[in-house]
Amino acid sequence: MTRLRQLALVGLAAVAIGATASSAFAAETGSFPNRLAGATIGLPAGAAPPPGLYASLSTFYLDVIPPGGASNGTWCISTVNGKCANLPLIEQTVPLLWVPGWTFLGATYEAAVAQSFYVFTVCGGPPFDGTCNSGAPISSGGFVYTNTFFNPITLSWNLGGGWFVSAGFSFFAPDGTRQVGTPNPDYWTLEPALAVSYLGGSWVFSANMFYDFNTRSQGTCCAQTQMTNGDLFYTDLTLLYKFGKWSIGPVGFIVAQTTPDTGCPVSSSVAPCGNLQAGGVGGLIGYDFGPMNLQVIVVDNVYGTNVPLGSGSITFSSRIGFKVWGPEAPHPLVSKD
């Protein structure tokens, strides 16, 4: 296996990182999505790695724009109970990817699970100015878990000539931490996925696509209203050039809401629902250390409607991927004299 192939496939240890703290990339104030836009940038999700168990640590440094436009890493949510949640500036995700070596319909089978966590604070406000000050002291907060991401099946086909395609189904369970002001969604998200990847020569290209169907909120999070977030379509794009142990190239993401929200709140204390539209472009630089792979990603969110991450905000992320376990290679036969 070439070093390029090793780089790309070890990176797939983090293919499940869509379960990150979606609140920080959030949609309308009324309700938040479960998936983090751009979470699979840098991963050729169409290609399955060799049999084994893979893991990674992904860290997101989120430049979130609060009301008023000042970029200080916080976002204030005005809710019906008068609380202001300051979302995380730093959040981390640990995924596990299992490739047992099974084949089905000519494809390689994969399964994954991912859990994210972060620290948040809730201010007692008003005023809601994006910070916890003397007028809005800290009322609660702490270390919290996001909703867990489960990927029970992904099938990856090798089409030849360096091209791969995968199809899978995942879901987000509403099992995240529940505290006053915690923006974890309280609904299920069902997610079919499709990815097309190319690994050939010194190039890696991938388009990872997800379509999210959301169930009805029970009113225990976010704007505390029973509503249903519209369906969301995500695309994460990567184009990398490999030279030696280094890789570099442009990346980007697109998010588009395809159906309207239903059951939107009418209270003046809650922002109205609206279609989520977002896009970002940036760059990635990676280095292959052999037993592990490091990627650093910078994305400028050039467009956004009904999202805290508005135009001009910057997101930094890093990913360390490695193989936890794999079948031992067969030992060569040695004849005795």
Cβ pair 2, 51 in contact under 8 A: no
Q: CB-based contacts of 57: which residues, under 8 Å, 6+ apart?
A: 92, 93, 94, 319, 320
For residue 245, the model assigns a pLDDT of 95
Pairwise CA distance, residues 175 & 113, whole Å: 13
Task: Give CA torsion, residues 196, 253, 247, 16, to 10 deg.
Answer: -70
Q: For residue 330, give the amino acid letter.
A: P
Encoded tokens for 160: 């030849």
Written as one string, the DSSP assignment of 185-233 is --S-EEEEEEEEEEEETTEEEEEEEEEEEE----SSSTT-S--BPPPEE
Across 221-291, the runs of DSSP E, i.e. the strands, are 232-243, 246-257, 277-288
For residue 43, the model assigns a pLDDT of 95
The residues facing 297 across adjacent strands are 284, 317
Q: For residue 193, give the amino acid letter.
A: A
Cβ pair 270, 225 in contact under 8 A: yes
The burial of 256, by beta-carbon neighbours within 10 Å (0-12 exposed, 13-18 middle, 19 or more buried), is given as middle
Distances, alpha carbon 3 to alpha carbons 27, 43, 165, 205, 245, in Å: 39, 15, 21, 16, 8
How would you write the pLDDT of the chain (337 residues) with one tens digit per residue?
A: 444 344 444 444 334 333 333 333 333 434 468 898 899 999 999 999 999 999 999 998 865 444 444 434 444 443 434 455 555 567 899 999 999 999 999 999 999 999 998 876 665 555 544 455 555 555 566 778 889 999 999 999 999 999 999 999 999 999 998 766 566 788 999 999 999 999 998 999 999 999 999 999 877 655 456 788 889 999 999 999 999 999 999 999 999 999 988 887 655 444 456 788 889 999 999 999 999 999 999 998 888 777 654 445 778 999 999 999 988 655 555 555 5
Domains of the chain: 3-325 (2.40.160.40)
For residue 313, the model assigns a pLDDT of 73
For 92, phi then psi, to 5°, come to -130, 155
Instruction: Compute the C-alpha angle 185/188/190, nearest 5°.
Output: 125
Pairwise CA distance, residues 312 & 331, whole Å: 55
